Amino acid sequence: MGESISHAPLASPIRWAGSKRKLLPILRSMWRSSDRRYIEAFAGSACLYFNIRPEEALLNDANADLISAYAVLAKNPVKLHARLLSIPVDAATYGEIRASKPSTKFESAVRFFYLNRYCFNGIYRTNKLGAFNVPFGRRTGGFPSIEQWRESSKALRGAQLHSGDFESVVRENVREGDFVYLDPPYAVSNRRVFTQYSANEFGIDDLRRLRSVMDHIDDVGATFVVSYALSKETKVLSDGWFSFRTLAQRNVAGFSQHRRKAVEVIVTNDENRLKVRKKDAKPA
């Protein structure tokens, strides 16, 4: 049985370095209408979730500011949209917003969405003190329309929102028949790519924990799909499972002329999910 999409696909309401938007045709083909619930442990832009819009879902991310902003968008899209459009878009205002320390969840969401939309290259990066430190961007695109904003809000109201450690959240919530999408930050050591989305960097030990989580998902009778950059660390995740390689556009380089296509590995515990077009993939 193929994919089941109850609503029109949406683009994510945020920009996000490392988003798998270019892999959506492959990833969405691996979702099935028989899957009980959609779980995403490293949500980020949640581009796959917004694209397939499942009826039941759990979205988790270690970034508490992101999840809190999603919660505000889910509850109050119109007021939030109007507030964001009322703020001038220039480097000076951006600096003021970045330096601010909002006292309410609503104003914190305003700050998050404003900085996300107008920062350099959609990067979320903080210093060791947890302060957002990405500069103003010159090419950010327009802000989503109120119609897109309303639809994003409606989609988020269909999900449980969590901010916690990926291992704890998955182990506590995954059940037989669930579909778990895992798109962790990269922990590669052989070349420079953007890996740090917060003050706590994702490392090799976290990859080993993730492998343990994959084993647990399989043990309970759920399905996982993992996307990860091809590197020597990939084998930690792919050994013993079904996998294939595909090309993906890297959108996290500092300048557009340095962006290039790189190899991404898709890993799953369900061989039947590997029915993709030959031109899109080859065995890992």
Judge whether 20 is annotated as a binding position. yes
Judge whether 183 is annotated as a binding position. yes
Q: Nearest 10 degrees: CA dihedral of 132, 116, 146, 155?
A: -90
Judge whether 165 is annotated as a binding position. no
Strand partners, 228: 265
Strand order, beta sheet including 282-283: 159-162, 57-60, 38-40, 179-182, 223-229, 261-268, 242-249, 282-283
Judge whether 31 is annotated as a binding position. no
- As annotated, the binding site includes 16, 20, 61, 183
Which residues define the annotated binding site for S-adenosyl-L-methionine? 16, 20, 61, 183
